[in-house]
Each structure stands twice: as C-alpha cells, then as structure tokens.
Amino acid sequence: MRISVIGCGYLGTVHAAAMASLGHDVVGIDVDRRKIAELAEGRAPFYEADLPRLLDEETRSGRLRFTTDFAAATGAAVHFICVGTPQRAGDDAADMAFVNAAVDALVPHLSPGDVVAGKSTVPVGTVAALRERIDATGATLVWNPEFLREGRAVQDTVAPDRLVVGIPDGADGERAGDRLREVYAQARARGGPVRGTPGATTELVKIAANAFLATKISFINAMSEIAEVAGADVAELADAIGCDPRIGRSFLNAGIGFGGGCLPKDIRAFAARAEELGTGHSTRFLREVDAINLRRRDHTADLVADALGDVAGRRVTVLGAAFKPNSDDVRDSPALDIAARLRSLGALVTVTDPEAIGNARRVHPELSYEPHLETALLGAHAVLVATEWEQYRHLDPERARELASGRVIVDGRNCLDADAWYAAGWDCIRMGRPALRHPAEERVLVGAGTL
C-alpha cells in the first residue's frame, strides 16, 4: 500500500522505516531540508537501535524515500501525521502549531477515500477540531497514537503490544478501519490486539498512559525520600509491593527521575487541558508528580555535594547525558540538569555518554564533555551514574579506582553492584537505600580534603 508519513522526526522516521520494512511503499515528508537529505541517503539523524540498518535497507530497496515536497503525498492511501507537540512557550499546554501546519500542507493533496491517521500525542478534542478540514476533501480522519519506547522503537512498531485506533461512526469509518487493518496486517500478526475506540478516548489513551507511568515513577521516588530518612531500603520496598499483581514491579525503580520528550511535557499538557475543560481538579495530582520528579534533581546534586563535603573545585564525572540508555535523546534530561546544577555549585564537571554528547553539547555548551569513559574518570573525586548504560552498570570498580582520585560513587539509578564497589574501597551512595561507607580512617586522602 502507498503510505505517506508527515513529519520525519523521531516518531515519523521510525514509523516510515518500519512501514517500509512491512512491505509498504512509503514516502516521508518534512520541511527540514538537511534532515531529509540525510534520510534520503539512508542515514538516521538520531540514535535508535536497529534504525540505521532499516533505513539503509529500505531506501536501497526503493520502498522508502524522503522529500520536502508535500505533493509527493498525492495518491497515497493512508497519510500518517507524526509531527511533534512540544510544550507551548509561556505555559504548560501542548503546542499544536506543527499539527495544524501539517494538516494545512497535506489537505491540498488529499483525495476522497484517503485515510489521515494522526499519531502525534495531542490534547483531547484535537480530532474534533481537525475533522472539518479533512472531511471537506472526502478523506477520513482517524487517530492512531504511538506507544514507542526509545531504544526499542523499531520493535514496538513492527510488533506492537497493542494498536489503538479511533475511527468515526458510519461507512467511511468502517472503510478507514479496514484500510488500517490492512496496513498493520503483519504487525497485528506479530503483536498484540487492535482496540477500536471513540476519537476522544483514543486521544486520551496515550496521554493517560504517560500520566500513569509518570505517577508510578514519582510515587516510588517519594517513597525513596521517606526511606532515606527512616533508614529503609526502597528497592526492597518496591520488590515487596510489586509482588501484588494490582501494582506490578515495572516502573518502580527509584532514581533521579524521568525526562525525555514525552512524560514531562505530556503530564503538564494533560493538566493544562483539563483546566481548559473545567476539570483541573481531576489532574491536580499531576502537578505534584511533576514537582517530585524535578525535586529529585536537586536532591541528587545535594547527595554528591554532601558526600564530598565541599563540592567547589572538586572534579565530578557524570556517567550519562541521555535521559535513558540506548538513546541520544537529551530532552529534559535529568543527567544534564544535575550536571549543570553541580557546576553551578562550583564543581568541575565532566560528562560522558556513548551516544549523546553531540546533542548534550548543543543544550549545555558550558559543560565539559569527554567521549572516552576511562579518560572521563581520570582524577575524579566523585562519580555519578546518571544514565544506566550497560557499560556503566558493569563498570569494573577496581579499574575505576585506579583512574579516579576519590572514592565516592553516587548510584543515581540504583543499577550497580554496590557490594562490589564497596569491596573495592568506594563509598557507594544510593537512592533511597542505605549508603555503604567506609570508616573515616579507611578513606583515601585526596589533596587537603578527606574522601
């Protein structure tokens, strides 16, 4: 089937490549000429596992091409809208400018019987607001939200755990539903069920899911704050309550909090939209979810400073810049935020990351970056694990001790073998868990201070 994908950012590029890999004839369209030139050569403009291979194979096969010309959408049976909905400048609401611009540019190229499928995360009410423009062309508008996990986005597209589609009532809606079932035939065979829901419900599904996940993360981080004061272990707490199938263990890992381009802005947009609808009291709790999450960043910087006694002039190595492993995405990254806060306290901060240094440097050019892990560790008085890349999880504490000057490691993701680090002579500071510290007389002297 011929498919157009409007918007070739993270979502659109993955979706276009995955649809081509399922055998469809796909054109990706975006206004960014440099991005399109890179994609046309089969190169991914961001890091995502398995995407470079897919782009290379599908552009070579001819099933996938990219252009800035919206006229290339003419003749496609299904048009996916995959543009971003960032937080609007000046308030918490979602900025719909890209969605509206995409629809305006696409409308002249639609034909009766076409299906326009929105995948962007949008405020409830968006479908109703857009429908008149789409209906006037004889095309049918449906909403089909994405549920991608960065680092697993290709897999989540070709073998999704569920497909949610909001289709209108009537014959046109039935035809649109049949068309999408055809598009996703292979994905449905590999993945989970298809759920057809009313339009407003479909708009709520993605943002409600993100709100729930954010709430679960902030809940365990709030418990972490209590555990630290009470002398409890938040990981054991999470294991115990996670045994209850009504709660579950996933997303109950205490740490420095969530970031990225979805959860933070989505919960703010959700709360803002609820207020516009006169139901702001229903999402008021999301303000506290957001506050708990942001508080983790100050708390982590304080843990590093407290462990060193005086952070000013001390060398701190931050392991990780991306908001999560297996990604180069630094949007609202807790790791970079904490690094900047430590720098503001006078620390000499070095950030390292396997993939995200280029993006990080554009956001925080004032920080120092080192791509090589061992070089980044040289002379460090303290080390902070801020992104749980596998190479950081399995870092040899003995080798790290040879490179560093100090013996303080702050495990911001609770992902290390703390006993192994302690046995190697490190003071291991954990999130919501008892710290493992050596007696003062056993600590290594560094300069005039005692670590």
Active site residues: 262
Give the whole-angstrom CA distance, residue 282 versus residue 15.
33
Query: Are 256 and 334 contacting, i.e. CB atoms less than 8 angstroms apart?
Result: yes
DSSP E strand stretches across 336-433: 348-352, 368-369, 382-385, 408-411, 427-430
DSSP β-bridge partners for residue 64: 26
Evaluated on CA atoms 180, 183, 188, 189, the torsion sign reads positive
Query: Are 353 and 372 contacting, i.e. CB atoms less than 8 angstroms apart?
Result: no
Give the whole-angstrom CA distance, residue 128 versus residue 144.
14
Distances 194 to 96, 189, 269 between C-alpha atoms, Å: 27, 11, 26
Give the contacts of 328 (CB within 8 A, at least 6 positions apart).
Answer: 46, 47, 322, 353, 355, 356, 358, 359
Closest CA to 81 of 7, 189, 183, 158: 7
Give the contacts of 57 (CB within 8 A, at least 6 positions apart).
Answer: 21
Closest CA to 172 of 131, 204, 202, 203: 131
Query: Are 280 and 101 contacting, i.e. CB atoms less than 8 angstroms apart?
Result: no
- Convert 412-434 to b/e letters by CB count within 10 Å (16 or more is b): bbbbbebeebbebebbbbbbbbe
- 309 φ/ψ sector (left φ>0, alpha ψ -120 to 50, else beta): left
Residue 253: strand, helix, or coil: coil
Which string of DSSP letters, residue by residue, matches 102-154?
A: HHHHHGGG--TT-EEEE-S---TTHHHHHHHHHHTTT-EEEE------TTSHH
Across the beta sheet with 194-197, what order do the strands follow? Answer: 64-67, 25-29, 2-6, 78-81, 115-118, 140-143, 163-166, 194-197
Q: How many Cα atoms occupy the beta-carbon half-sphere of 95 within 13 Å?
A: 12
